[in-house]
Chains A and B, each alone.
Chain A
Amino acid sequence: MNGAHNVNDINLLAQQQQQQNRVKIGIRNWQNATVQDVINFLSRNTRIAVMDAIVQGPLVMGYVQSRADADALLKWNGIRFAGNNLKFEILDDAAGGAGTNSTITLLKNFLYKRYNTQTKMLDLANLHADPDLVQKGLFSSISTQSKMFPALMKLASKEPQLVVESVNLSNNNLKDISGITTLAQTFPHLKNLCLANNQISRFRTIEVWKNKFKELRELLMTNNPITSDKLYRSEMMRLFPKLVILDNVVVRDEQKLMSIYSLPMKIQPYFFENNEIGSSSTDFVTNFLNFWDADRVQLLGLYTPQSQFSLSVDSSIPPSSVSESDQNPSFGYYLPHSRNISKVSSEKSIEQRLSMGAEAISNIFRALPKTKHHLQDMPNEYSVETITYPQVSGFIVTLHGFFEEVAKPDVDTNNKSSTGRSRRFNHSHNASNNRLSKKSFDRTWVIVPTGNGVVVASDLLTVRPFAANAWVNPAQQLQQQPPPAPHIDPMNPNINALPPTVGMGAIGMDMPPAAPQPAVSVPAISMPAVPSAPPTLQIPPEVQARLNPMQLQLLIKLHLETKLNAEYTYMLAEQSGWNYEVAVKGFQNSASNIPREAFIQ
């Protein structure tokens, strides 16, 4: 059909199976000799082999190795043979494509036939004995055989429905694993692998799997010569650090292993010392960053003459194995202001780079690039901890996350004529240091509530190269796409309702927050930062008072997802340890056993 498509097909085909690669051609004006004569003649003169030739009407029909051969053959049009000019044509261009597709379909069907959804096992044992594969000629030669496994693996990696935890490759006459190394790319998180009844005899071949299969828990290699080696057990344990069972024998204490390879402090995105500061701090942070992005001057009212701000650049590059990490960050706008005392050695600079009072703070604010934070639209990308700070009768909020740099700073300190600047700024300072990009940051505010607002006593900002955050579990994230429809943002964006010209009084949180938290069904306006529950979720006030905003939000999400009533939603949440994914899974697993009255009527 369309040429590009076929070329792709043929390329794919070439990797998989040479036999299917061939192109059907026709030859005219050959009649003055035998078919064999024509073919011999072509082979001699054009070096192109025509295979499986048959006569059909005026044509000799046959196959050439590849599309390239077919095209080359066409260039010989008009060559003299037995008193005539031969004419070549490509008969069915789609033949190769169709062959590929049918092979792909065959292999795909085979994969699904050998996959067990229940056990998450892909059974690739004894491939030689599979009638479908043998009939299709996949074992007709060594070369097709060796290409089949990588092809299978490639196909398997493109099938998201195949969730494979176990692979069985027993009885495959494997002498080494060179034919099946791609298994590690396709299923890096494989838990169980069976290679029993093969002829694997040397460690060296398995060495390519070192640092792969980091989750491999069980390996079965019985009836391989390698198992009689003295070093067998220790080598296997070295190659697979999380191996627990080797040939049906427990080789590692699983509990101990888990404790070694996991932190007892599992990472969470939020910590609030109590509910009140939880809601006020999320509120504060949201409001603050909105103004920080839109108009920083508006924030100056939060800083007293004794307030301090400083910036610290952490220019260390994260390892390249940190996903999305920026390996070539630019800190040109920040470095002249960085008060990283582990890097800045001059005591004078350290002193100068601490801004105290609104005026000094205003100057440095204007010297930093303009930004956009995504607290509202990408709440998962942010993490916050809030603790009380009795020594100042206030609290400390620490926010971790990222921002985009959207424009150069109002005041560019780099372009100022270098009065008093050290000499290094006169050399090799180029614009690439000032490239705008995404940055990760950690920002800590010391906040002191006053009568009707707050004061920022201290504001410490770290800017560092962008990197994907540590607190989002990739598995969870995957499941959250697309996000559940009625998503309620924990960072209630009430600030959007405020005109930007409103004075600083408006940004202040009402501190202390209204004493006991009313029932959730109260409209959100009176309780900023508390998500408003749908009217069908009625949580008794005394229960609600014990919940933090994150828990409340989880309840709402669960309720909307499951349609369970408040009591059961709460039970589900509690039993699942306030983990949304666990809760939804638990709900799905036991949905049939849940009584009718558990649901909202």
Chain B
Amino acid sequence: MNRYGGRAGNFGNSGSNSGGSNSRSQIAELFVKKVLTHLDDTDPSKFHQFLGLFNPNGCKVIINATPFAQPTLFLEQWETGVTQTQHALTAVDYHVIPGSNSVVFNVNCKVRFDEGGRDRAGQDASIQQQPQHSQQPRNALNRTRPLWGSYFGVSLQMVVEERVLSNDTNGTILAFNYNMVYKPDDSLMKIH
């Protein structure tokens, strides 16, 4: 269940760890996991929750060195143009920058895509020959389980308001820089 490895933890769960209340670094890690979970979420109703993390008064979003004027535009494209993803966190580090009320995150993770030929909504590209055979054979084409491809490497930097470290995530992301750093040759996904 806990595919991110490391210590388990529920988002928004107040300190129940052995070390007393959650330390700032634990909160930092949980926040990063929360962001990655949102990226992987296929439920459109969670869209506004994710959007709620980004600062409403201007937030820079860069994906693969492509800038987005608005987080909304990015999230819409992510929802509609990218197949289901699965992120796995591999490294997190962060610095609180004194006097700026902000934190810089440096994150590494890997991501794989559903290469089963379906988009996030479960639609595939096949053209129905005759209107719906009532009895379609069960095969790879009509199963809904994702077919994960190989992992891509991702480097993610975020600038986040410092209050995120006291578990206040609303509108905190000021900058979001997500870039792929390595790609598997056997993936069907094209990033060029």
Which chain A residues have a beta carbon within 8 Å of chain B's beta carbons? 211, 214, 230-231, 233-235, 237-238, 241-242, 249-254, 256-257, 259-271, 273, 306, 308, 310-316, 318-319, 321-323, 325, 339-343, 345, 347, 350, 354, 383, 385, 387, 389, 391-392, 396, 398, 400, 440, 442, 444, 446, 457-458, 460, 462, 464, 467-471, 473
Residues on the B chain within 8 Å of A398, using CB: 155, 157, 177, 179
Closest to B105 in A: A460
A374 to B62, CA, bound (A): 25
Query: Known contacts A241-B188, A398-B177; is A391 also within 8 Å of B97 by CB?
Result: yes
Which of B22-30, B41-49, B164-172 has 4 or more CB atoms under 8 Å from chain A?
B22-30
Contact pattern, B 161-192, Cβ under 8 Å of A = 1, otherwise 0: 00000000000001101011111111111111
Beyond A256-B119, A391-B102, 11 extra complex contacts between A and B, CB < 8 Å: A231-B137, A238-B139, A242-B188, A250-B127, A252-B127, A253-B125, A260-B83, A260-B125, A271-B66, A314-B91, A347-B19
A253 to B78, CA, bound (A): 21
Contact across chains for B90 and A314 when beta carbons are under 8 A apart = yes
Partner of A387, one of B95, B110, B175: B175
Query: Known contacts A323-B185, A387-B60, A389-B159; is A396 also within 8 Å of B175 by CB?
Result: yes
Partner of A233, one of B101, B129, B175: B129
Contact across chains for A251 and B127 when beta carbons are under 8 A apart = yes
Contact pattern, B 77-88, Cβ under 8 Å of A = 1, otherwise 0: 100011100001
Q: List 20 A-B contacts (CB under 8 A).
A: A234-B139, A237-B141, A241-B117, A263-B64, A264-B82, A265-B66, A267-B179, A268-B66, A310-B93, A318-B182, A321-B184, A342-B5, A391-B100, A442-B155, A444-B157, A458-B104, A460-B94, A464-B108, A469-B181, A470-B153
Closest to A392 in B: B100
Residues on the A chain within 8 Å of B127, using CB: 250-253
Contact across chains for A316 and B90 when beta carbons are under 8 A apart = yes
Residues on the A chain within 8 Å of B177, using CB: 385, 387, 396, 398
Contact pattern, B 1-30, Cβ under 8 Å of A = 1, otherwise 0: 000111100000000000100010110110
Partner of A237, one of B5, B89, B126: B126
A342 to B141, CA, bound (A): 37
Residues on the B chain within 8 Å of A269, using CB: 65
Closest to B32 in A: A342
A260 to B83, CA, bound (A): 6
Contact across chains for A385 and B77 when beta carbons are under 8 A apart = no
Residues on the A chain within 8 Å of B66, using CB: 265-266, 268, 271
Q: Which 9 A-B pairs have the closest CB atoms?
A: A268-B65, A264-B81, A460-B106, A271-B65, A314-B91, A256-B125, A467-B182, A257-B125, A312-B93
Residues on the A chain within 8 Å of B95, using CB: 308, 310, 354, 446, 458, 460
Contact across chains for A342 and B65 when beta carbons are under 8 A apart = no
Contact across chains for A260 and B124 when beta carbons are under 8 A apart = yes
Closest to B28 in A: A341
Determine the interface band of chain B, counting residues with CB < 8 A from chain A.
35 or more
Contact across chains for B184 and A319 when beta carbons are under 8 A apart = yes
Partner of A263, one of B82, B98, B123, B140: B82
Q: Does B115 contact A (CB under 8 A)?
A: yes
Residues on the A chain within 8 Å of B140, using CB: 238
Partner of A262, one of B88, B100, B191: B191
Contact across chains for B4 and A385 when beta carbons are under 8 A apart = no
Residues on the B chain within 8 Å of A260, using CB: 83, 117-119, 124-125
A514 to B93, CA, bound (A): 35
Contact across chains for A391 and B192 when beta carbons are under 8 A apart = no
Query: Known contacts A252-B127, A267-B191, A387-B177; is A440 also within 8 Å of B104 by CB?
Result: no
Residues on the A chain within 8 Å of B83, using CB: 260-261
Residues on the B chain within 8 Å of A259, using CB: 81, 119
Contact across chains for B104 and A316 when beta carbons are under 8 A apart = no
A251 to B65, CA, bound (A): 35
A368 to B89, CA, bound (A): 24
A69 to B43, CA, bound (A): 72
Closest to B147 in A: A241
Contact across chains for B159 and A462 when beta carbons are under 8 A apart = no
- Smallest distance from the beta carbon of B92 to chain A beta carbons, Å? 5
Residues on the B chain within 8 Å of A343, using CB: 6, 91
Contact across chains for A319 and B151 when beta carbons are under 8 A apart = yes
Contact across chains for B182 and A468 when beta carbons are under 8 A apart = yes
A389 to B189, CA, bound (A): 33
Residues on the A chain within 8 Å of B99, using CB: 392
